[in-house]
Amino acid sequence: MTSPITQSTIARFAPVDLPLRRIVSDWGIRAVSALGTAAFRTVGPKASGEFGILLYHRIAEEIAGIERPSINVPPRRFEQQIRGLVEAGYVFWPLRRLLDHVASGERVPPHVVTLTFDDGFESVYRNAWPILRELNIPATIFLATAYLDSTDPFPFDHWGLSHFRTVPPSSYRAMTLAQCREMAASGLIEFGAHTHTHEDFRDRADDFRSDLETNISTLKELFGQSDVLFAFPYGTPRLGFADESLTIAAREAGVRCALTTNSSLVERDDSPFAWGRFTVFSWDTSATIAAKIGGWYGWAPRLKNRLLGRSPVSTEKTHPSQPNPKPNGTASAKPQVSIIVPTFNRATWLGDALRSLLEQQTGGKLEYEIVVCDNASTDHTAQVVASLAATSSIPIRYCYEPKPGDAPTRNRALQVASGQWLAFFDDDQLAPTNWLRELVAAADEACGPIVGGAVQLELTERERLEFGIAIREALRETDLYPQLQPYLRNSLPGTGNALVAKSVFDAIGNFDESFINGGSDYDFFSRARAAGFSLWYTPKAIVRHRVEPRRLSPEHLRLDALSGGAEHAEQIDFKRRGLARTLGCGLARIGQSLVIHGPLLLEAWLRNDRGQVLGRQTRLWRTEGYLRKCLALSAPRIFPQKRFFDSLSFRHGRPHSKDAK
């Protein structure tokens, strides 16, 4: 199904979200909840014969650098809330059981609570459903069925419309029909009506009824329900979203109940066409929720309305103008992935790396091949590959590239690879059995054409303690964010752990072979970002990077840092920004060294902290390499430094030359 979002209808959706009003309201609710929690802990439940229904919307991670999603509870907090209620003795009933119990005239037992979700965000399936399934907790999800299987943000989701280019699609898009059917088949989840399009239907009772009837018939067809439960979209009676005319229309449409968003307990004699629900917020704990359903909250909204003399009001509409997000990668039900492994003179480690790739557990959801490109090795690399290929059920392709360098080697492998997705891996790495599956899952969830993962160094515990974070980063350890999200600012994936759609290479070209001693991956991913492709990071796809003992020596770290700084000056900044801006960056690095790294180096030396000393030295060596290259670029006849730069060709195990054939 696709979203019926057009310019002629989009104005009829949600009221404008005013930040100041939201902040004031949020802090007011927090204050009341704090008072209610204190009273609940002191006195106990205030309610007698009443019960509470909880309301959630989105269950998504909060992303650094981006405003928090509206009406959202992060997955970890959601789990804490639900587990806390279970441990406190609360029992979760399905909404239908609650309706049957009340209709029979029986009193609802104490500590009964019902769980509901509005709208049908995919994040509920990905983040809440696993928790509910584990704890065997039932819930009702009220679906706006027009948006099932859509990749667009809901047109009433201000946050999604504002940030869909920079946040995981699962945080704003709707569930798929397959996801709904999976949950429904469990018997724990029931789907209710929430109108078909979730428009603002105030003063449009006839349109509301027609839209709701479409919603109901869709649910009956999809899930075989005999009668349907319903919750008003927006749902605030005071603002007219659940007024008498809409309630009558809901009854006439044949739903069994009509829940609102009124923050109140349900009393025994209340009509099920006016039951309220308590919205759960990210700052709520199991204690504040218990206070709400214990009767220590509902008085506050009633008192506020009485003091302010509130009555239903009309509010202006939003007119979003953002284009709908389009995934700029490709995907299929069973992706074909080519894992590309460039190698040079690491036959033993290459064998270990390939065996870890052959042990990938894909769950039958994807097929893959391995492409090994030999960059003119002089050891027994070819024999290692041939031996593994002879006994493997996974296709292993071997190719040979005589021109030295990462870029030509990977480009040669690209010519051989047959997959529409290309996974990049190095010969000095090991892959856990879920590595490839997690990369593909992240690409599917993000609808992104480029996904990178985490890199962990294979160090002993003593070495990890001895070498600080600066050294580990210099050795290419990567652990950026705790959740799936876009790469921020200057962060980019690396070709030691990345999945890239072949369409990206078709659009922007292959790796730039003018990069002699590395840096072609930084250039490639920078070009991809500049071309408008989204780049995503997942912490779940982890590779373990093996480190040769010689690379842990101070001398190797010095040469590596000098080389890296020089390469960045020439291959990245000079190529893109020109000489003047590169010299400006060099001056900025001098200032940073004098103000930050120099004093911190002295402090670490005085504390005899070897790891911190090496870390700060590494940053200063990198600056030295950058400045030396700046001098060579600005005055090559005066500052050629040929001997110095020739000494840095060690980085890839043998000399590199621009004249190499």
Question: Quick one: pLDDT at residue 131?
Answer: 96
Residue-wise pLDDT tens digits, 214-261: 999 999 999 998 899 999 999 988 888 999 899 999 999 999 999 999
Report how far residue 485's alpha carbon sits from residue 166's, in angstroms, rounded to the nearest whole number: 8
Judging by beta carbons within 10 Å of its beta carbon (0-12, 13-18, 19+), is residue 401 exposed, middle or buried? Answer: buried
Q: Is the pLDDT of residue 12 over 60?
A: no
Report how far residue 87's alpha carbon sits from residue 79's, in angstroms, rounded to the nearest whole number: 12
Pairing, β 367-374 against β 485-486: unpaired
Pairing, β 139-143 against β 112-119: parallel
pLDDT confidence tier of residue 137, bands split at 50, 70 and 90: very high
Query: Domain 338-549 class?
Result: alpha beta
Question: Quick one: pLDDT at residue 465?
Answer: 61
Q: Worst-scoring range by mean pLDDT, 49-58, 409-418, 451-460, 507-516?
A: 451-460
Question: Which ranges of 190-346 does DSSP label H, i.e. alpha helix?
Answer: 205-223, 244-253, 286-293, 299-308
Report how far residue 529's alpha carbon sits from residue 613's, in angstroms, rounded to the nearest whole number: 35
**Domain locations in the chain?**
10-308, 338-549, 553-652
Question: Quick one: pLDDT at residue 650?
Answer: 45
Q: Worst-scoring range by mean pLDDT, 23-27, 142-146, 600-604?
A: 23-27
Q: Worst-scoring range by mean pLDDT, 23-27, 190-194, 271-275, 541-545?
A: 23-27
Using only C-alpha atoms, the chain has a radius of gyration, in whole angstroms, of: 30
Report how far residue 499's alpha carbon sits from residue 445's, in angstroms, rounded to the nearest whole number: 13
Q: Worst-scoring range by mean pLDDT, 332-341, 557-566, 640-649, 650-659?
A: 650-659
Question: Quick one: pLDDT at residue 472?
Answer: 60
Is 139 within 8 Å of 113 (Cβ atoms)?
no
Q: Which helix (H) or strand (E) holds 5?
A: none
Q: Is the pLDDT of residue 43 over 60?
A: no
Higher pLDDT, 569 or 297: 569
Question: Quick one: pLDDT at residue 581?
Answer: 84
Phi/psi class of residue 392: alpha, beta or left (left: φ > 0; alpha: ψ in -120 to 50)? beta
Give me 323's structure tokens: 């284009």
Question: Quick one: pLDDT at residue 475?
Answer: 63
Is 286 within 8 Å of 271 (Cβ atoms)?
no
Q: Worst-scoring range by mean pLDDT, 10-19, 314-323, 347-356, 613-622?
A: 314-323
Out of 12-21, 156-165, 205-214, the most confident range is: 205-214
- What is residue 469's three-state secondary structure? helix
Give Cα separations from 403 to 376, 406, 407, 410 (angstroms).
8, 9, 9, 11
Q: Is the pLDDT of residue 212 over 60?
A: yes
Q: For helices 598-606 and 610-634, give the axis angle rounded to 10 degrees.
A: 150
Q: Is the pLDDT of residue 317 over 60?
A: no
The predicted model gives 390-401 an average pLDDT of 94
What's the chain's length in residues? 661
Residue-wise pLDDT tens digits, 84-107: 999 888 999 999 999 999 988 888
Is 208 within 8 Å of 234 (Cβ atoms)?
no
Q: Is the pLDDT of residue 639 over 90?
A: no
Question: Quick one: pLDDT at residue 109?
Answer: 85
Report how far residue 69's alpha carbon sits from residue 76's, in angstroms, rounded to the nearest whole number: 15
Phi/psi class of residue 119: alpha, beta or left (left: φ > 0; alpha: ψ in -120 to 50)? left
The four Cα atoms 341, 345, 347, 351 give a dihedral, to 10 degrees, of -20
Q: Is the pLDDT of residue 444 over 90?
A: no
- What is residue 192's three-state secondary structure? strand
Please tell me the CATH superfamily of domain 10-308, with its number: Glycoside hydrolase/deacetylase (3.20.20.370)
| Residue percentage of the chain with pLDDT more than 90 | 48
